[in-house]
Amino acid sequence: MENQVELVNKIIKIARNFQVSPSNPLSLDELTQLLGDVKTEHLNYALMVLMAQGKINTRKAGRGLSIIWVS
């Protein structure tokens, strides 16, 4: 997979295209399917970066996290 910056940008683009909201969350399972071949540790790091920068917000939903907001 490409570098972390490209992965972060892909996640933002997917979340925006998906039009995430609290009533239309994007689960990590769905995100992983949309990203294709991505290592879990790379995805986790990219999500931590995005949350730390305030670019996404997540909530615990069922057995995992869902993205509920993107800037």
pLDDT per residue over 6-57, tens digit each?
A: 999 999 999 999 999 999 999 999 999 999 988 889 999 999 999 999 999 9
Give the predicted TM-score (pTM) of the model.
0.86
| Three-state DSSP state, 40 | helix
User: What is residue 1's predicted lDDT score, i.e. its pLDDT?
Assistant: 47
Looking at residue 61, its pLDDT comes to 73
* Residue with more model confidence, 63 or 27: 27
Which domains occur in the chain, in start order? 4-70 (1.10.10.10)
Read off the pLDDT band of 2 (50, 70, 90): low
Strands 56-61 and 64-70: antiparallel
